[in-house]
Structure 1
Amino acid sequence: MPEHIKRIVEKATSTIVDSVVPVSGGDINDSFDVKTSDGRFFVKTNREGPESFFEREVEGLKRIASTHTVHVPEVIDFSDENHPSYLILEWVQPKRGFDEAILGQKIAQLHHHTHSQYGFSDFTYVGTLKQPNGLYDNWAKYYRDQRLRNQMTIGESLGVMKGQRANKLNQLLDQIERIVPKDPPPSYLHGDLWNGNWMFDQEGKPYVIDPSFLYGDRYFELAFADLFGGFSSSFYDGYRSVLSIGSDYEELKPLYQLFFLLVHLNIFGEAYGKSVDRILHYYV
């Protein structure tokens, strides 16, 4: 039994830990299934403990929970001060076989909640990359300056953004305000909605986890959900039963997917280069 996990959980919950079992599936954190005398918990730890790493995740979970739409795990405790840093959540026992339409409905209901501005009040994380934010009155400017331009800067430092690729991205940045709407509703967005970040519990209630929260165009969220094919047609049927998806989505989708492909290029390398180049060639 990992003794440091036992100490963390017993101190935070005032219970006796019976077992600690590693859970696979995460690239960034070490994860554990912890059974105690007072229930079962999901524990994540991060050995490097980036600044406010779990604090930002907790903020995102709480903002999603405040909408009373899609479910999120209850936060038991967290700390970014210790090494490793940690996050303790309620254990949600997943179950497959439920209709994804209910998940689509709940995500649309989440998107129906809006803020007065775009972005977020503080930095967040996308994967392992720090994401600067700020609150903007113009979505196109936020998307250009804080999303695409930031990933370009990271890519330049890593050597994956150069030559014709960099020239085309610069040209695209100059055109963003012509393509991206400046004032769509600033929806509450999960911010990292892919197939690994949602589940159903034993009763069929949909949950989302690991948010990278922001306020923005809901099509930005849908574009990432579409990127790697992790959602069924039933999900979109459920979504459309609450909110329509207009014809403008198809024109914006590649541009919104570009951000996530740049993130993957910067984290995982040139395997994502051709996809980035394809989108740049489409617009420039």
Structure 2
Amino acid sequence: MAFVQLEEKISSAVSAATGKEFKASIGPSVGGGCVSDTRVILSKDSDSLKFFAKIGTPSEVSMLAAEYYGVLEMYNTETIRLPKPICYDSTDRFSFLILENLNMTSRAGRREYQLLGKQLARLHRCTSDRGFGWHRGNTIGPTPQLNPWTSSWTEFFVNYRLHYQMELAKRNNLKFEHEEGLLHKVEKLLNQKQDVIPSLVHGDLWSGNIGFLTSGEPVIFDPATYYGDREVDIAMTELFGRLPEDFYVAYNDEFPLTEGYEQRRIVYNLYHVLNHFNLFGGMYGRKAKGMMQEIMEFI
């Protein structure tokens, strides 16, 4: 009965967004959703028309709305392919985000990764005149991600990325020494990079959020969008195993990284490792401590 109501709501929302009548049939769950239930939405009138849905609780509508607007902001740059965002809404029992349904594979060769590097660099050339942040908060996985507009990248990253996750980690019983010293080291390191441009970044760019169409066109999805130092995206592609070297060569040909990236990479990835500790615990706490020690020895 609940899914009947949800199908009716999705039908009306998609019809309104597309300007064409659509009668939804909720298909079985598909893989890939670490937060929401992910499903293919079928058409009761057409075998070929399908959409992709993330379905959550009513309280998660704000999270799904933030993803909708994040995907939309990147999609509208026309620099790199994302699933086109269609609509979001909620019922008294569910919330949902509807996206274009794309048939993707993780298998790709040299040409595909070169194109990914070039297109990501072009996305990163999209900037904001409001500084670092975004017009709304969003999430990194299920964890809140704060995005107040800030003129200083160092201030933004230290306060709204690293320190925020460190406070969560302390509540989750991760003990670390020299917190003030670490944050001072990070401030000093980030301040060494001059004229950081507020680039439009994916925010959660690892191999699991990258796919390729059968044509070879790269697709990125599941973003945690904001305007920040573009190096945060490149750094995360190295966190859980590097992408093929062709990606990095092509990116640097299009938009070269600057001196000091190798140290900043560890700082930027500490944010994600702390987030993984706050979500999953265990080995991520040890990894975070090791990264903190490495940062303390930098300068």
Give me the TM-score of the superposition, normalised by structure 1.
0.91
Question: Which residues of 2 match residues 131-146 of structure 1 at below 5 A?
Answer: 131-146=145-160
Say whether 1:26 aligns with 2:33: yes
What is aligned with 2:261? 249
Report if the CA contact (8 A) 2:83-2:221 is conserved: yes
What is aligned with 1:11? 12
Question: Which residues of 2 match residues 1-284 of structure 1 at below 5 A?
Answer: 3=4, 5-12=6-13, 13=15, 14-17=21-24, 20-36=27-43, 37-38=45-46, 39-47=49-57, 49-50=59-60, 52-80=62-90, 82-95=92-105, 96-98=107-109, 99-116=112-129, 117-160=131-174, 162=175, 165=176, 167-181=177-191, 183-284=195-296
Secondary structure of the residue aligned to 1:260 is helix
Tell me the amino acid that sits aligned with residue 275 of structure 2.
Answer: V
Report how many aligned residue pairs link the two structures: 280
Distance 1:15 1:62 in 2: 21
Report if the CA contact (8 A) 2:58-2:92 is conserved: no
Cα 1:48–1:152 change in 2 (3 A) is farther
Shift of 1:192: 0.7
Distance 1:184 1:27 in 2: 32
Shift of 1:252: 1.0
Secondary structure of the residue aligned to 1:64 is helix
Cα 1:61–1:231 change in 2 (3 A) is same
Distance 2:295 2:199 in 1: 26
Distance 2:98 2:88 in 1: 6
Distance 1:4 1:280 in 2: 49
User: 1:25-44 deviations in whole A, cap 9, x for unaligned?
Assistant: 22111011122125111011
Report if the CA contact (8 A) 1:53-1:80 is conserved: no
Give me the TM-score of the superposition, normalised by structure 2.
0.87
Report if the CA contact (8 A) 1:52-1:80 is conserved: no
Report if the CA contact (8 A) 1:64-1:110 is conserved: yes
Shift of 1:213: 0.8
Shift of 1:122: 2.1
Shift of 1:51: 5.7
Shift of 1:18: 5.4
Tell me the amino acid that sits aligned with residue 111 of structure 1.
Answer: H
85-94 vs 115-124, which moves further: 115-124
Report if the CA contact (8 A) 2:138-2:224 is conserved: yes
Report if the CA contact (8 A) 2:61-2:89 is conserved: no
Report if the CA contact (8 A) 1:262-1:276 is conserved: yes
Tell me the amino acid that sits aligned with residue 45 of structure 1.
Answer: I
User: 1:193-246 deviations in whole A, cap 9, x for unaligned?
Assistant: 111112112222221111111111111111111100152112112212211123
Shift of 1:271: 1.7
Gaps of at least 5 residues in structure 1 are none
Distance 2:281 2:164 in 1: 17
Shift of 1:81: 6.1
Gaps of at least 5 residues in structure 2 are 16-20
Secondary structure of the residue aligned to 2:103 is coil
